[in-house]
């Protein structure tokens, strides 16, 4: 026998030990899987608060920490849109919720066609160029960043955002609801502010109240909807002149409070 060669006895001893390690490993895997299935069942079966409190908090689950409900990955288009939206976050919020400090409205949940229309208006001087509209004047340079394919990239990314208004509205939602109906707003914006695509009326439900108030004042003062080639802006300006002339600031606050309360 050559030095270093394995005898029959040694060979079977090694084989035996190897088999034991292998079987041990398989048992380990099976036990691990069973324990984890058990956790899933525990989670799904937990219906009372006591049982749930011993489980991971729901926020972890929503954040995608739970293997069963991981957040869907972004598509390539949405990924590109996210890059575009990086230019907007500082003013409109990381989740499209809007920001009172920058006077920038909520974009999450807004209709795609309307977002595209408004960007086009800012680019073409139909909105944000009136001397009495200092807030609107901030948008044209950013609207100019979104052209060609990046418009669709942006709107497909906006659909993944679900930020909601973060500041408390000051008006009375109940009084606002009555005004909204009495002044004929539902004709173009829907009974619950959901918007009306055929009438080109944007969705107003869930919008920040302070922003709605600014826009109503702008339309009333002719600082928005002033361009003769902006048919739909002019339509809303005419509506504001006809229906809101007699409505005071308190009334505008009420309408805005009702709209903000509608959809979160």
Nearer to ligand HEC by C-beta: 43 or 135? Answer: 135
Nearer to ligand HEC by C-beta: 236 or 257? Answer: 236
- Closest distance between ligand HEC and the C-beta of residue 210, in Å? 10
Three-state SS for 245? coil
Q: How far is CA 247 from CA 10, 82, 125, 188, in A?
A: 98, 40, 29, 19
3-state helix, strand, coil in the chain (%, to 5): 55, 0, 40
- Closest distance between ligand HEC and the C-beta of residue 192, in Å? 13
- Closest distance between ligand HEC and the C-beta of residue 97, in Å? 13
Nearer to ligand HEC by C-beta: 27 or 90? Answer: 90
Nearer to ligand HEC by C-beta: 107 or 165? Answer: 107
Answer for the pair 114, 203: CB distance below 8 angstroms, yes or no.
Answer: yes
Residues in the site for ligand HEC, rule: CB under 6 A?
87-88, 90-92, 102-105, 107, 115, 117-119, 135-136, 138-139, 142, 145-146, 154, 183-185, 187-189, 199-202, 204, 212, 214-216, 232-233, 235-236, 239, 243-244, 255
Exposure class string for 68-89: b at 16+ Cβ within 10 A, else e: eeeeeeeeebbebbbebbeebe
- Closest distance between ligand HEC and the C-beta of residue 86, in Å? 8
Nearer to ligand HEC by C-beta: 66 or 116? Answer: 116
- Give, in degrees to the nearest 5, the angle at Cα 111 between 181 and 208: 60
Answer for the pair 203, 197: CB distance below 8 angstroms, yes or no.
Answer: no
- Closest distance between ligand HEC and the C-beta of residue 149, in Å? 14
- Closest distance between ligand HEC and the C-beta of residue 248, in Å? 13
Rounded Cα distance, 171 and 175, in Å:
8
Burial environment of residue 157 by CB neighbours within 10 A (0 to 12, 13 to 18, 19 or more): buried
Closest CA to 86 of 163, 159, 154, 162: 154
Rounded Cα distance, 32 and 49, in Å:
27
Nearer to ligand HEC by C-beta: 165 or 239? Answer: 239
- Closest distance between ligand HEC and the C-beta of residue 123, in Å? 11
């Amino acid at each position: 026998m050559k030095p270093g060669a394995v005898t029959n006895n040694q060979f079977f001893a090694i084989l035996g030990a190897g088999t034991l390690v292998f079987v041990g490993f398989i048992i380990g895997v099976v036990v691990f899987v069973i324990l984890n299935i058990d956790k899933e069942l525990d989670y799904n079966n937990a219906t009372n608060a006591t049982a749930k409190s011993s489980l991971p908090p729901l926020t972890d689950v929503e954040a995608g920490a739970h293997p069963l409900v991981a957040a869907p990955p972004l598509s390539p288009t949405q990924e590109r849109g996210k890059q575009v939206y990086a230019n907007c976050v500082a003013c409109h919020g990381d989740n499209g919720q809007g920001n009172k400090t920058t006077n920038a409205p909520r974009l999450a949940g807004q209709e795609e066609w309307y977002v595209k229309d408004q960007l086009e208006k800012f680019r073409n001087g139909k909105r944000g160029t009136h001397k009495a509209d200092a807030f609107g004047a901030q948008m044209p340079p950013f609207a100019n960043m979104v052209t060609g394919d990046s418009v669709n990239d942006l709107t497909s990314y906006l659909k993944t955002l679900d930020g909601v208004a973060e500041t408390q509205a000051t008006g009375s939602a109940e009084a606002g609801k009555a005004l909204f109906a009495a002044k004929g707003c539902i004709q173009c914006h829907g009974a619950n502010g959901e918007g009306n695509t055929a009438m080109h009326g944007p969705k107003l439900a869930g919008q920040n109240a302070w922003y709605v108030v600014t826009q109503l004042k702008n339309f009333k003062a002719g600082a928005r909807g002033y361009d003769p080639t902006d048919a739909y802006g002019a339509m809303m300006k005419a509506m504001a002149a006809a229906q809101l002339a007699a409505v005071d600031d308190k009334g505008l606050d009420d309408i805005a409070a009702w709209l903000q309360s509608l959809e979160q």
